[in-house]
Amino acid sequence: MDTLTGLLSAEQVAFYEREGYLLLPDLLNEDDLAAVKAEMNAKVEQIAQDLLANGLVTDTRSDSPFQYRLAELFDGLTDAHFLKFGRSWRDRLPGYFDLMANPKILDAVESLIGPELFANPVYNTRPKVPGVAAGAVPWHQDRSYWPDANANPVITVWVALVDADEVNGCLHVIPGTHKTQLFTHHKESLTGTGYTEVNEEFIKTRRAVMLPVPAGGALLFNDRCVHMSTPNRSDHVRWSVDLRYQPTDQDPMPTHGVGFLARSRIFPERVARMEDWLAGQPERRDDKMTGRDNP
C-alpha cells in the first residue's frame, strides 16, 4: 500500500471501489488522538464515580492505564450494569470535533467522494469491554440503521484507539457487498442492545476477511459493506470510534443528530467551526447577525 500523503493513491481508491473497504494502518498519531482520548477518559471518570456512588465498586482505578481502567471497573459486573451507560457514546464535545475535522481523515475521504464533505451525525465511541456481550456486534450493514435516508454513499471511518486484533474483537468484513442493495435485517436478541443483524443464510455463502487495525489506524468502508466484530477475549478494552462522512448533497439525517459541514471548496466560508457544532449549528454562523466580527 502506498504511503498516504494527503490524498489516497489511485491503487487505494481502486481497491476501495472494488472491495468496499480500505485499511490505512498509519493514518493518525498520538497527537491526533489526544483530544478525543481525553474526552473518553473524562467519561470513564464519570462512570467510575457513578459505580462508586452506587456501591458497585470500592476502587475507581484512577491510576490504571487507558486501555485497562474500564475493564477493571466492570470486572465482575453484568451486561446490565454496563448498558446503563449505553452500548456506545455520542457526546457532543470538543475532542470529537477535533477528530472529525482532522485534515488527514478529510483528505482520505475526499479521495473517495470529493471535496464537498458533510460529517454525518452518526458517530460513536465504542468501548468493547471484556466479558460484556454488548461488545460483540453481529453481521450488518450500517445503512440498516437509516434505511429511508437518501444518503449514499456514507463512508465510515473506523479509528482504533488501541490495537484491535483477533483477541480483543477486531472487525470482519465481507468484500464486495457494498455493490448490493440493503439486505433484510432483524433485531438480534443475544446482547439486548437492539443491534440489527443480516439473516444468517446470507452470511454462510460469503467469504469474510478479518481486519486487525493498529492504534491510530483507520478502516474506511461503505455503509452497505457487511461487517461485524467478535467478542473481546482480552484483559483490556478495545477502544474505537466510528465517524461517518457523506457528500453535502445527500440527506443530512437530522433525526439522528447534528452533523456539520467539514470541508467545501464551493462554500469554504460555511465550513463549521468547533463553536458552531457545539452550539448545534451544522454550518458556520453568520457573525454579522450576532454583532461580532469574523476572526
CATH number at residue 128: 2.60.120.620
- What pLDDT is recorded for position 287? 57
**Per the structure, how many domains does the chain have?**
1
- What pLDDT is recorded for position 122? 92
Pick from 211, 212, 209: nearest CA to 163? 212
For 264, list phi and psi in degrees, rounded to 5: -160, 125
Classify residue 5: in a domain, yes or no: no
**Cell numbers linked to 81:** 450494569
Classify residue 168: in a domain, yes or no: yes
| Mean pLDDT, the chain, whole residue set | 87
Instruction: State pTM to two decimals.
Output: 0.89
At 183, the pLDDT band (50, 70, 90 cuts) reads low
- CB-CB contact of 103 with 27 (8 Å): no
- As a whole number, mean pLDDT of residues 83-104 equals 93
At 131, the pLDDT band (50, 70, 90 cuts) reads confident
Classify residue 66: in a domain, yes or no: yes
Classify residue 2: in a domain, yes or no: no
Residue 291: pLDDT over 80: no
274 compared with 289, residue with greater pLDDT: 274
Classify residue 186: in a domain, yes or no: yes
Helix intervals (H) in 152-234: 200-203
Cell 468547533 locates to 274
Calculate the alpha carbon distances from 167 to 21, 69, 203, 214 in Å: 22, 18, 22, 13
Residue 185: pLDDT over 70: no
Classify residue 294: in a domain, yes or no: no
At 112, the pLDDT band (50, 70, 90 cuts) reads very high
Most confident of 36-50, 178-192, 215-229: 36-50
Residue 159: pLDDT over 80: yes
At 295, the pLDDT band (50, 70, 90 cuts) reads very low
- What pLDDT is recorded for position 187? 65
Residue 125: pLDDT over 50: yes
Residue 68: pLDDT over 50: yes
At 290, the pLDDT band (50, 70, 90 cuts) reads very low
Query: Given CA atoms 267, 295, 111, 225 in this order, what sign does their dihedral have?
Result: negative
At 190, the pLDDT band (50, 70, 90 cuts) reads low
- As a whole number, mean pLDDT of residues 206-215 equals 92
Calculate the alpha carbon distances from 19 to 224, 242, 251, 253 in Å: 11, 19, 25, 26
Classify residue 3: in a domain, yes or no: no
Residue 243: pLDDT over 80: yes
Whole domain around residue 250: which residue ranges?
10-289
Classify residue 152: in a domain, yes or no: yes
Residue 4: pLDDT over 50: no
